[in-house]
Structure 1
Amino acid sequence: MDTPYWQGVPVITFALGTWQIKRWKWKLDLIEKLKQRTSAEPIDLPSDLDELKDKEYYRMKVKGKFLYEKEFLIGPRSLIINGEAISEKGGGVFSRKTSSGYYVITPFKLEDRDLVIMINRGWIPKCNRSTYKMGNKITDFIEVIGIIRGTEKRPPFIPNNVSTKGVWHYRDLDAMAKIAEAEPVYIELLAEYDTPQGPIGGQTKVALRNEHFSYIITWYSLFACTSYMWFRQFVQKLPLI
């Protein structure tokens, strides 16, 4: 009698369940790390910008003035409220249509250094794409706090950026810096820096989905079922049905 094709399934499902335990612990550690970094005291911009490579999600404090004439948009992007994308929360008071829009990226000239960085001032709805530059502007030097973010690889199925036409779908800091005549340093303003009739700040996603525990239950349940079937057929020599 041929060996049933499923006899290796108990081993496979047990291995997958064990792997999901490791992934679950990794995700819990990542969530805790993000929580600690985004709630820590703001740091100052280091003199060596390479130090920022290990500082993603930390809060950073800078003082300077916005260069509105060089700002541009990234999108389309979902509106983020309290660290979670509106489209993932089901919309709330925002429909899926109105929660689609763009991030406003504005170069920021530092007061104490001959340096320009880039700041994500926040989110605007798609309908404001052609009029966002008409909003209120802060022309004086201002101190702001934002979340440090690194560059972003092109997500699957997302078109390439076309910098020459001002089309930005994802965060390519080096390419953005060339267009903005800035350093590849990028922060996302906290929500308290909203301006009247301006972009909605706080566009840092920190709410991570963690479904690994349910995967653990699924794989170990399959392991238990198939192990019983294996024991019944090969040890007890009983038919499966």
Structure 2
Amino acid sequence: MASLRSMFTKSSRIITAIKQQTNVIYIRRTLLGPRLPLCRRVDGRFLEFLRQSSSTTVNAGKGEDSFLKWFLLLIPATTFGLGTWQVRRRQWKLQLIDDMTRLTTKEPISLPLDPLELKNLEYRRVKVRGRYDHSKELYILPRSPVDPEKEAREAGRLSSSTESGANVITPFYCTDLGITILVNRGYVPKQKIRPETRMKGQVEGEVDVVGVVRLTEVRKPFVPNNDVQKNRWHYRDLEAMSQVTGTETIFIDADFGSTVPGGPVGGQTRITLRNEHMQYIVTWWVKNCTEKSRSYSCFRL
């Protein structure tokens, strides 16, 4: 009898606990009823709400899939447009390089003294007559010899030449103008940088020089600062160079025809325009093909 009573007591407790839990659930759902009209009672209507919610979730999922597919289709269209834009940019850059190259081959004009006029004449050929002051040479280094055709084809890229040397910058007194300017006489290899190793090329007396007008440079990233004390120049700073040599802030690159035996090799004008658009074209169009494949795969799913 004791065991039966114990079992009956346990059963009563379980039934009471279930009723209490049921009341709690019912009360909670009843309180949520005003907020969820389809869930006022625990009956069929609640199940209908669940069905409606499930269908809404499915429809929302389909909408998200559709949006994702169209978004993936937009990516290859964008990359194709960017690649086409780079084609036009490359054509424009090549034309600009051709125009600048033609300026370096035009008939030379007399060197103007108006600073405003000079600013509009970069890469223009000019002619001067005078004499060099070899005692105040400056050296821009390291430099490799310029191949004009290669410079036009690969402008702005790092040179693949393993030969290294310097450009010799020499003050030049223009006897016809009464001013002293800076002339980049040209390239010398590393073992010929010191003047005593190339005395034959240290021309004396008056000479005619044809050169290309160059403007001052801004130091590029990763290019070292100029070391004035050691006479090691890494970029063309006309203000600093003119202060050291006592010249005007006028700079020309002597052309190849101004080269003298045993002296620096002229014609070291670099047309420094970055021309990497072909790489961008390939990059964007390869991405375009990749994204197209992904988009088509997505649409097939």
Choose which of 35, 50, 69 in structure 1 pairs with 2:135.
69
1:146 counterpart = 2:211: yes
CA distance in 1, matches of 2:275, 2:212: 22
1:221 to partner: Cα distance: 4.3
SS of equivalent to 1:63: strand
Q: Report how far residue 229 of structure 1 moved.
A: 3.5
Q: Following the alignment from structure 1 to structure 2, what is the Cα–Cα distance between the partners of residues 227 and 43?
A: 56
Query: Does the 8 A contact of 1:59 with 1:148 survive in 2?
Result: yes
Q: Distance in 1 between matches of 2:112 and 2:265?
A: 27
| 8 Å CA contact 2:168, 2:264 repeated in 1 | yes
Paired AA for residue 103 in structure 1: N
Which structure is higher in strand share? 1
1:26 is aligned to: 92
Structure 1: how far apart are the matches of 2:158 and 2:138? 26
When the two structures are superposed, what TM-score results if normalisation uses the length of structure 1? 0.83
Gapped regions of structure 1 (runs ≥ 5): none
Residue 117 in structure 1 maps to residue 117 in structure 2: no
1:35 is the counterpart of 2:106: no
Task: Name the CA shift for 1:126/1:222 in 2 (closer, same or farther; >3 Å).
Answer: same
CA distances 1:126-161 after superposition (whole Å, capped 9, x unpaired): 122334575222221111101111111112111111
CA-based RMSD: 2.8
Task: Select which of 266, 280, 287 maps to 1:215.
Answer: 280
2:298 corresponds to which residue?
Answer: 233
CA deviation map 1:161-218 (0-9, x unaligned): 1223322111101111111111111111111222221111111124867442453244
Which of 227, 236, 254 is equivalent to 1:171?
A: 236
Percent identity of paired positions between Structure 1 and Structure 2: 39
3-state SS of the aligned residue for 1:39? coil
Do the aligned partners of residues 47 and 90 (structure 1) sit closer, same or farther apart at CA in structure 2, a change above 3 Å counting?
A: closer
Looking at structure 1, the residues matched to 176 and 223 of structure 2 have their Cα atoms a distance apart, in angstroms, of 38
Matched to 2:236, the amino acid is R
Q: How does 1:98-113 map to 2 (within 5 A)?
A: 99-113=163-177
* 1:181 has 2:246 as partner: yes
CA contact (8 A) 2:192 2:198 kept: no
CA contact (8 A) 1:83 1:205 kept: no
The equivalent of 2:111 in structure 1 is: 45
SS at match of 1:165: coil
Q: TM-score, normalised by structure 2?
A: 0.68
Aligned amino acid, residue 106 of structure 1: T
The structure with the largest alpha-carbon Rg is 2
Structure 2: which 5+ residue stretches go unaligned? 1-60, 152-156
Distance in structure 1 (CA, Å) of the matches to 2:223 and 2:289: 41
* Contact 2:198–2:263 (8 Å) recurs in 1: no
Q: Letter of the aligned partner of 2:260 in structure 1?
A: T
